[in-house]
Amino acid sequence: MPRPIIIDTDPGQDDAIAILLAFASPELQVLGLTTVAGNVPLWRTTENTLKLVELAGRREVPVFAGCPRPLLRDPVTAEHAHGETGLNGANLPDATTPTQSTHAVAWLIDTLTHASEPVTLCPLGPLTNIATALIQAPHIVSNIESIVAMAGAVRTHGNVTPAAEFNVFADPHAADVVFSAGCPLTLMPLDVTHRALITQERLEAFKSLPSPVSEACHGMLSFYFRPNTTRFATPGSPLHDPCVIAYLLEPEIFEGKSVNVQVETSSPLTLGMTLADWWGQSPPNAHVMQTLDADRFFALILERLATLDTG
């Protein structure tokens, strides 16, 4: 039977590839998509998610709008990386299905409360929705198979400040709630996602996909692609969020270690920093990925997207 998952998202070009990868994978059953403010404001992340459902021909998958701002701090967005719309570079079809009327947090609580089998949560953006659900209904932990999240920077520098990765920096208090909830937790920090680089050669491979989504994927990634010759000295852009879905499909692509990870929530200098206890002085709360086989990672994405039926 397919593994039931919920994708919590703030598209974002890399979110888009992750969502399409999930739709193209019969091993996964996407129960729904919940949206959160992050890369762009909530109304745009919701609109973008609906457009991706339309692009993939998966109109039966419901979309629920969630929290429009972080738990405590002021909102932070990332148009500098993703463009004004969050999905700059592609002319996506208008959605023909509406957003569900139920709030994302209420739907998460109801779905997890009544699930017949445990569900895997796949947060691709700030953890506001997940944390709010855990705060309001802590009993749902028993029906969470695992949380696999793109979050943090452990042995590398952050990408929004020297100390912090964007998703955690955007809502560090939510990340602290999720990291402390006691759920099985797997993190895809910058340490591993910065090894999943879109190079010029890999970008061209998206253009040649024998699939109706080829033009959209190539357009989005062409906008997102930029060799980083200053801050990180890399030959391309990291494809962060698809690491979450790829891990569910082929975990052997990745290598990591179980450690204790804590989030800085008070220091103005290091707000959102994720500190890992590599010495093992405290009980592990997360399996933190550190490396991946980039060639296998991109081969998996291209192989699956080539089969995506957008009928």
Considering only CA atoms, which of 82, 99, 69 is closest in space to residue 17? Answer: 82
Judge residue 244's burial from the number of C-beta atoms within 10 Å of its C-beta, 0-12 exposed, 13-18 middle, 19 or more buried.
buried
Tokens representing residue 71 in the block: 């738990």
Judge residue 158's burial from the number of C-beta atoms within 10 Å of its C-beta, 0-12 exposed, 13-18 middle, 19 or more buried.
buried
Please tell me which residue in 82, 173, 194, 240 is annotated as part of the active site: 240
For the question of residue 240 being annotated catalytic, the response is yes
Measured from the Cβ of residue 302, the count of other Cβ atoms closer than 10 Å reads 17
Considering only CA atoms, which of 55, 92, 48 is closest in space to residue 212? Answer: 55
- Residues labelled as active-site residues: 240
